[in-house]
Chains A and B, each alone.
Chain A
Amino acid sequence: MLKPDPVAIEAWRARRAALLAANAADQEMLLRQSSTELRRTVIRMVERAGMGHLGGDLSVIDILATLFGAVLRLDPNDAHWPERDRFILSKGHSAAALYATLAACGYFAPAQLETFMAPLSALNGHPNRTKVPGVETNTGPLGHGLPVAVGCALAARMQGSARRTFVVLGDGELQEGSNWEAAMAAGHYELANLTAIVDRNRLQQGASTEETNRLDPLSDKWRSFGWEVREVDGHDHVDLLHAFRHLPRRGKPLTVIAHTVKGKGVSFMENRVEWHHKVPTAPQVIAALEELQETGS
């Protein structure tokens, strides 16, 4: 198991305090800064490892930055604090984005990110609960996160705890039937402490979701299973903050359909299906980092 990093934790605490004290415009700016930094980090991680899933990393980063930067109740010093909010990255192939985020919170030293997928590293290609603090359950095979999240939410309710459970799902991932079994159970049990976030980038591994196995009308599907649905721009931190912070109506679990762009932030990766798991060349890395330099801050 990796160890917490006091320096990174201090930095994360300071950022969080500044954020909570700031006005809306400054909050937006601070969250955008950390998202840009995370984007730069995952690009370097994938380049170094020579493999990875950049497209989905870049589409989910604003969601992760918002949750870990301003929403989740957590203690990076004590990853197993019983009253922490639970976060599950069901689309486990975006592990690089999660690792970069966890390192930025200080769950482990950011220098560890250099070992991503290297021999004997804790930072495997998909998140592992027994090696990486902050990871609640192993993911990688798609369609596992939501059922586990339902269990986490039920546990909180049975213990009379106010903690919340958040789970991020890929849109292609929703083709797995296990999600709909879990969605049905969450509706049935009226799990208002459960939030499912769909990274709706409209692309999966080989093609668009709508060409492969159509998901639309997606919000109707969730609604008919008893969920409250909010649709947001998944790259707009203010939208995301608002959607995550306000609890749904009593008795309803919440789906946040976050409209995103696969490869977001790097023009030549955006909306291009091959960047699901393509690895950038050295010049492409330079170009990508430059673009992010310009859009950041």
Chain B
Amino acid sequence: MSETYDCRQAFAEELLALARRDARIVAVCNDSVGSSNLGGFREEFPDRLINVGIAEQDMVGVGAGLANGGFIPFVCAAAPFLTGRALEQIKADVAYSQAPVILCGMSPGMAYGELGPTHHSIEDLSWLRAIANLPVVVPADPIQTRAAVRWAAGHTGPAYLRIGRFKVPVTTPAHAPFEPGRAIRLTDGDDAAVIAAGTMVSRALSAAEHLRKEGVHARVIDMPFIDPLDEGAVLEAARTTRGIVTAEEGTVSGGLGAAVASTVVQHCPVRMRILGVPHVFAPTGSPGFLLEHFGLTAEGIVRAVRELLAA
């Protein structure tokens, strides 16, 4: 787990590789060629990159229209503006219309730390999880990012891909499946389960390593699909461990933790701790500072597991 990667790079490479093989792949963006890493795409396929300017609602509608014409649009923008600004377009034009538009939310969570809560994308998972017919995908590393791009281009409906800016190590084992509704078990353990997504996965692994030294065996589950959720893996964790900790780079109101909790509480209530941003607007600070501030770190996960087992 030494070398770390920017998933936007993996995203851009995979999208370009796909575009070379499939002329239906187009990119749509909002004055974000640089921040969406679409420079290479523009160079090779200038006619297949549509930059609508600073106009996110238009951008998503245009994506839906392109899909209507048989294209496979990857609509790329900073996650807070893509999801927040164009929420109704995502609901009506994309999900409800079953338009195969791939919404790519770049630099989510606390990636824009110092730029403030308007630029923190912590509500996107809650917002989009509430919309039917829209898979919500949070890749944990470059391998899953590439798999998500390939999967999204090949399936017949829309999807939301959350493409992180934090550098992360590779955590996905070779030959791990990448399918909707399928979690990946990264470590075994029956004392507690840590269910994490995106940037929190490598932190969960570090936490499990630390806990093992204390004799606590935590099962780490990587949940790349927030929707559809792997309910089987959640319920198995609920039945075979003493409790569940979830960790996500987003608000606790309605994201991964809420999805896991609602599954657990309906079928097999167990103790839970939900780690995330606790329903507040964050103070000013760097991305790293804010993750520390909210305990979204390996130590924070260790603490939560200890509390859970002590309760």
What are 8 A-to-B residue pairs whose CB atoms are below 8 Å? A124-B116, A128-B116, A140-B119, A141-B85, A141-B118, A172-B31, A205-B54, A213-B51
A212 sits at the interface (CB 8 A): yes
CB atoms of A126 and B118 under 8 A apart:
yes
- Per-position binary interface string of chain B over residues 3-47, scored 1 when its CB falls under 8 Å from any chain A CB and 0 otherwise: 000000000000000000000000000011111000000000000
Interface size class of A (residues with CB under 8 A): 20 to 34
Question: B286 — nearest CB in chain A belongs to which residue?
Answer: A119
Question: A205 — nearest CB in chain B belongs to which residue?
Answer: B31
Which residues on A are within 8 Å of B, measured CB to CB? 49, 51, 92, 117-126, 128, 138-143, 172-173, 175-177, 204-207, 209, 212-213
Known contacts A117-B284, A118-B284, A204-B31; A142/B115 CB under 8 A = no
Partner of A125, one of B32, B33, B56, B284: B284
CB atoms of A124 and B81 under 8 A apart:
no
Known contacts A125-B114, A125-B119, A212-B53; A206/B31 CB under 8 A = yes
Chain A's nearest CB lies how many Å from the CB of B123? 13
Known contacts A172-B54, A175-B54; A124/B31 CB under 8 A = no
Starting from the known contacts A118-B284, A141-B81, A206-B51, 14 additional A-B residue pairs (CB-CB under 8 Å) come to A92-B118, A118-B285, A120-B283, A124-B115, A138-B118, A139-B118, A140-B118, A140-B119, A141-B80, A175-B55, A177-B57, A177-B58, A205-B34, A205-B35
Interface size class of B (residues with CB under 8 A): 20 to 34
A207 contact set on B, CB distance < 8 A: 31, 33, 51
Question: B119 — nearest CB in chain A belongs to which residue?
Answer: A140
B289 sits at the interface (CB 8 A): yes
User: In the complex, what distance in Å separates the CA atom of A118 from the CA atom of B80?
Assistant: 22
User: In the complex, what distance in Å separates the CA atom of A126 from the CA atom of B118?
Assistant: 8
**How many pairs, one residue from A and one from B, have CB atoms within 8 Å of each other in the complex?**
87
B114 contact set on A, CB distance < 8 A: 49, 51, 117, 124-125
- Per-position binary interface string of chain B over residues 287-298, scored 1 when its CB falls under 8 Å from any chain A CB and 0 otherwise: 001000000000
User: In the complex, what distance in Å separates the CA atom of A143 from the CA atom of B54?
Assistant: 9
Report which residue of B31, B51, B289 has the largest number of chain A beta carbons within 10 angstroms of its beta carbon.
B31
Question: A126 — nearest CB in chain B belongs to which residue?
Answer: B116
User: In the complex, what distance in Å separates the CA atom of A126 from the CA atom of B81?
Assistant: 15
B189 sits at the interface (CB 8 A): no
Chain B's nearest CB lies how many Å from the CB of A215? 9
B235 sits at the interface (CB 8 A): no
Question: A138 — nearest CB in chain B belongs to which residue?
Answer: B118
Chain B's nearest CB lies how many Å from the CB of A185? 18
User: In the complex, what distance in Å separates the CA atom of A173 from the CA atom of B114?
Assistant: 21
Known contacts A126-B118, A205-B31, A212-B31; A120/B55 CB under 8 A = no
Known contacts A124-B115, A126-B118; A119/B54 CB under 8 A = no
B216 sits at the interface (CB 8 A): no
B131 sits at the interface (CB 8 A): no
Partner of A206, one of B32, B57, B118: B32
Known contacts A125-B119, A175-B54, A213-B51; A205/B32 CB under 8 A = yes
B35 contact set on A, CB distance < 8 A: 205
Question: B36 — nearest CB in chain A belongs to which residue?
Answer: A206
Chain A's nearest CB lies how many Å from the CB of B291? 12
Chain B's nearest CB lies how many Å from the CB of A236? 27
Chain B's nearest CB lies how many Å from the CB of A276? 9
Known contacts A51-B114, A206-B32; A119/B53 CB under 8 A = no
CB atoms of A121 and B284 under 8 A apart:
yes
Question: A52 — nearest CB in chain B belongs to which residue?
Answer: B114
B84 sits at the interface (CB 8 A): yes
B84 contact set on A, CB distance < 8 A: 141
B66 sits at the interface (CB 8 A): no
The 8 closest A-B pairs by CB, nearest first: A213-B53, A140-B118, A175-B53, A125-B115, A119-B285, A124-B116, A117-B114, A124-B284
Partner of B284, one of A120, A138, A143, A205: A120
A128 contact set on B, CB distance < 8 A: 116
B51 contact set on A, CB distance < 8 A: 206-207, 212-213
B270 sits at the interface (CB 8 A): no
Question: B293 — nearest CB in chain A belongs to which residue?
Answer: A119
User: In the complex, what distance in Å separates the CA atom of A4 from the CA atom of B289?
Assistant: 28
CB atoms of B55 and A213 under 8 A apart:
yes
Chain A's nearest CB lies how many Å from the CB of B65? 16
